[in-house]
Amino acid sequence: MLTGMLKMTSGDALIYGKSVRNEIDEVRKDIGLCQQLDVLYDLISVEEHLRMTLRIRQGVDNKQQEDDIKDILTRC
């Protein structure tokens, strides 16, 4: 819930004074996410996994994300 990946059903949390409920884009600029398991979903492609992961990263524009995806896919 603190990363915005799970929907909040009630309440709120503040991170550096910013509301997780109302300012999640701003909150994400101040936090990181390290998943505890290798998360691979059977129903989406490698490219879709990369897009999902890169959406979590803040401060990276769409052009840079597309360049990163192409770079990673060409190296695999």
Model confidence pLDDT, tens digit, residues 8-59: 899 999 999 999 999 998 998 888 777 666 677 788 898 988 888 777 766 6
> pTM of the full predicted structure?
0.50
Predicted local confidence at residue 38, as pLDDT? 66
Length of the chain: 76
